[in-house]
Amino acid sequence: MLIRRHGSFACIILIGVAVYSLMGFILLKDWITIRPEWGWLNWFHEAVQARSLAYKGTVLLLQFMVLVIVARTVWFALHLLLSHRRSMNRLLAGTPDLTQYNIPPSVKKVLSYPVTIIHSENLSAFAEGWFRPRIVVSTGLLSTFEPEELKAVMLHEQYHCRHRDPLRLYMVKVLGRSLRCVPMLQGLVDYYIIWDELCADRYVLRHMLSPEGLAGVLLKWSASGRSEQPVIGAAAAAHFAPTAMNYRILQLLEPGRKLDVPLLKLWKAAATAAGLLFLFMMSIDVCGL
């Protein structure tokens, strides 16, 4: 389970680094010079060495696409981050006196991260903060769940805090939204999010004597219509949400069963590999002029 979670995250980051590096070579071709031993790339170099009009047009088109993708990346990254900060400031500034809401001692003793309570009737719980993560829960959640159920929610969010999931989710979602041109990337992002939630639930099961608390949370959460996310920039926080609910319930019912979460379609992997190969050959060729 951890291998799939960490493996999918590593693949997303590696694909992102590869794409942005190759696009950088194409965009900065006039300042970067590569003198490769062409070897197996010789056939590609000879095919385009005439520097035809089509070749020059392709290079200009690629440079334009690179500029668009870079602009989208910067915009998405700033938009998600600023939206998250504005939402958190609004929620914390509008929070009244919450002294009547107390976290049960049985829950407090298992927590190693600070807890912030926000005033909201929705069932909301999430981990936020990249380097100093904290758990944020709503008053609606505190008044709805029993102590054992609340403990399950807190342990779930504690797992996200320990593994810096707010930062990880921010990175993968920015890459997934920015690099729409990479067919398999969004599938990897969805795959990672599913396994991230399953690993958090497994952490809860390891630290609780009975799965009843988590089962009650999943049942109430899926049946409730009050589970909206109060933070607009949701990519900058790790929410407890009904993501992949069928897999999470199946994990509770059959803990020893190997879950079969589909990764991605073969044609998307093939299209991504072909696109990266073409981008690699073009970047080497334009920088070797």
Containing structural domain, residue 183? 2-257+265-287
Distance CA 288, CA 286 (A): 5
At residue 223's C-alpha, the angle toward residues 219 and 227, to 5°, is: 100
Distance CA 177, CA 160 (A): 22
Sheet holding 134-138, edge to edge: 115-118, 134-138, 125-128, 237-239
Measured CA to CA in angstroms, residue 42 lies from 45, 46, 57, 284 at distances of: 5, 6, 21, 11
Six-digit token pair at 164?
């810096």
- Answer for the pair 198, 159: CB distance below 8 angstroms, yes or no: no
Distance CA 137, CA 244 (A): 21
Instruction: Please tell me the predicted confidence (pLDDT) of residue 236.
Output: 60
Instruction: Please tell me the predicted confidence (pLDDT) of residue 156.
Output: 93
At a CB cut-off of 8 Å and minimum separation 6, what does 253 contact?
none
Nearest C-alpha neighbor of 165 from the set 120, 203, 139: 203
Instruction: Please tell me the predicted confidence (pLDDT) of residue 241.
Output: 62
Q: Splitting the chain (289 residues) into consecutive groups of 10 residues, what average pLDDT does each group show?
A: 86 92 78 56 57 72 87 92 86 66 80 87 87 89 89 93 92 90 89 92 89 88 65 60 78 83 83 84 67
pTM: 0.84
Instruction: Please tell me the predicted confidence (pLDDT) of residue 141.
Output: 87
Domain count of the fold of the chain: 1
Classify 211 as helix, strand or coil: coil
Six-digit token pair at 276?
């990266």
Classify 256 as helix, strand or coil: coil
Total residues belonging to the chain: 289
